[in-house]
Structures are given as C-alpha cells and as structure tokens.
Amino acid sequence: MPVRTYIEAIRETLREEMRRDASVIVLGEDVGKKGGVFLATDGLYDEFGEGRVIDTPLTESLIIGASIGVSVNGLRPVPEIQFADFIFPAFNQIVSEAARMRYRSNGTFSCPMTIRAPFGGGVHGALYHSQSVEAFFTHVPGLKVVVPSTPYDARGLLRSSIRDDDPVLFFEHKKLYRSVRGEVPDSDYSVPLGRANITRPGTQVTIVAYGLMAHYALEAAELVEADGISAEVIDVRTLRPLDTETLLDSVKKTGKAVIVYEDNRFGGYGAEIAALLAEEAFDYLDGPVTRVAGPEVPGVPYSHGLEDWFMVDPDRIAEAVRRLAAY
C-alpha cells in the first residue's frame, strides 16, 4: 500500500474529490498559485483553474459567508482558513449561520461544506499560530467537528466530510502534516463520521485523545507498558457527533480514563468527555476521570522554553496514567 504523509493524504483527497464531483470547489487565502501556506492545495489551481480554486481576499467572514451561499446554490465548497487561530472573524457566520441554516429553515435549506483549518501547537507558532479551537465548535449543534490524526484517517474522513450534507469543521494538526506517514490505500474508502478508533487495545486504563495527542497517547501507552500497565488508547477522530458507545464500552472495561487534550483545560473539549464518562459510566469507575491538558494561559508562548512548558507530552500523559493505574 502506498505510504503518504498526512498532508499528502489531504492534498490527494482534495484532488480526487474535485475530479469526482464538479460541484466541489476550494477557496481561501493563498490556496491558488501558492497552493496554501502548508501546500495542502498545491497543484489544484493548475489542474482545476481559478474558477474552482479561488484565492479570496484576506477576509475570513467572507470566506465562510460566501461558502454558505455557494453551498445553498448547489455547490460543495471546501473553504480553507489559513490557521485555525484566524477562524474567529468568521465565528458569527459559522455559529449563527451555517450551523443553524437547516434547523431554522425547518429542513428546507442546508450548507454542505467542509471548513479545513490547520491547528495546534508545538510548531513554534506562538499565541496566534498554535491554537486549539475545537471546543468553540464542538459545543454547537448543527456543526460536525473532525480531527484526524493519521494519513489514513485524514483521507477517509475528508472524503466523508466533503460528501456530508452538513457543515463540517475539519481540523488538521500542523505538527502532523509532515511528521506522520502511514499507509493510505488508493481505493475509494472512507472513514465514517462519528466513529472513534481504538488504536491500541488494553485492559487497565483508557486513554482518550485526538490530533497530535492521539500519537502522544500511544507513546505514553508504550511508556507505561514498561511498568506493566496495559493502556487502551482511543482516538476520538470525530469530536461531534461523538462516538459515546466506543468510549463507554472501553471505560466500562478498564474502569479508568485519562483524557488528553492540548488546549487549555478549563472548559476544553475533554471536559465534555469527562462529564459524559462520569455520568454514564459511574458504576464502572475505579478511579477519577483524569484530564491531562494545557495550562490556563491565553495561548502557546513563542520562546522554546515556554512552549515546552505549555505542551502536553507523552511523559506527562504517562505520569497521569501511572497515577491512575495505581489508584
């Protein structure tokens, strides 16, 4: 099977979907000739032309607002927000408009679109090029939120997202773009939205993570194996709608859960998972649902030392797993 990087998987899937379906268009800042600042759309402009690969002005609200109109009038836009940090000017269009179009029109209008945005820290991007923004959107009914962590899932989930009839936020972790490779079949497979993935089976502690942290969780599971602890790792993959069944089944089995997210802890996405497990798996819990998350500062600082201080890493996860296993 061909081996691809995470970003190659995304780029090729965009190309294939555009070939397959003439209604798919790409728009955003620098997505044309430059091919996107991370080259996720590289080559699309040459192949599909400026009619379907549109370099927009530097205006995020327009990118999403126009995508809403485009989707209402028969096309399937795949807007790119250059960095997830810059999605906020479009917040109103996403939350007030795209998310509610179907509900408020009683099912008569809809916005099939896939908003792609690179997110996450550990790339020396400082406060405004490192953010995790998923918690702002996972709370919103009407939206779907996807965070793939492998090239295989990136492709399979991007396919499902583009073909989905609802607005999807598709967050790609910047640090994974070139650092992760994996087998990606050439077939037209897709990974359904709403299904978590058990990436490592185990019996004593469940580690729940997504994005970069899904990798760190696996590394942490290796680390604690040396201590004789068997950890099960779940990559959430789709944050909304959440695959509660897979999570609950795992925690009912292990009795213990560590939830990992890169974002600051308070009110982050992991809070919902913790709340869910605490409520619905209470009888099975043999220890507190434990969160490992970022510190309560407004962003990832730039200086190397400060950034390292911010980022959750495999050691911190392993430490929490050990503590919980010993509970």
Ligand X SMILES: Cc1ncc(C[n+]2csc(CCOP(=O)(O)OP(=O)(O)O)c2C)c(N)n1
Residues in the chain: 327
| Given 124, 129, 173, 215, the catalytic residue | 129
- Interface with other proteins (CB under 8 A), residue from 33, 186, 189, 315: 33
Identify each DSSP E strand in 236-284 by its residue range: 238-240, 257-264
CA distance 314 to 316: 6
Of 97 and 232, the one with the shorter C-beta distance to other proteins is 97
CA distance 257 to 281: 10
- Binding of other proteins by 302 (CB under 8 A): yes
- Binding of ligand X by 161 (CB under 6 A): no
- Binding of other proteins by 291 (CB under 8 A): no
- Binding of ligand X by 210 (CB under 6 A): no
Q: How many residues bind other proteins (CB under 8 A)?
A: 74
Per the listing, tokens 């897709």 go with 190
* The residue type at 106: N
Q: Is 129 a catalytic residue?
A: yes
Structure tokens of 299? 């962003």
Q: Scan residues 286-305 and list those touching ligand X (CB under 6 A).
A: none
* The residue type at 212: L
Report CA-CA distances (Å) from 254 to 182, 230, 258, 285, 325. Answer: 29, 9, 11, 8, 10
CA distance 71 to 280: 38
- Interface with ligand X (CB under 6 A), residue from 8, 29, 164, 166: 29
Q: Scan residues 101-160 and list those touching a second copy (CB under 8 A).
A: 103-104, 127-128, 135-136, 138-142
Q: Which of 243-263 are b and which e, b meaning 16 or more Cβ less than 10 Å from the residue's Cβ? A: beebbbebbebbbbbbbbbbb
Of 172 and 263, the one with the shorter C-beta distance to a second copy is 263
Alpha helix (H) residue ranges in 73-133: 91-92, 101-104
- Binding of other proteins by 179 (CB under 8 A): no
Q: Scan residues 67-86 and list those touching ligand X (CB under 6 A).
A: 82, 86
Q: How many residues bind ligand X (CB under 6 A)?
A: 6
Contact 202, 230 (CB under 8 A): yes
- Binding of other proteins by 103 (CB under 8 A): yes
Closest of 67, 78, 84, 81 to residue 15, by C-alpha: 78
- Binding of a second copy by 291 (CB under 8 A): yes
- Would you give the binding string for a second copy spanning residues 229-268, x where CB under 8 A is met? -----------x-x---------------------x-xxx
For the annotated catalytic residues, the residue numbers are 129
Binding site for ligand X (CB under 6 A): 29, 58, 60, 82, 86, 89
Chain residues in the site for a second copy (CB under 8 A): 85, 88-89, 91-92, 95-96, 99-100, 103-104, 127-128, 135-136, 138-142, 240, 242, 264, 266-272, 274-275, 277-280, 282-283, 285, 287-291, 296-299
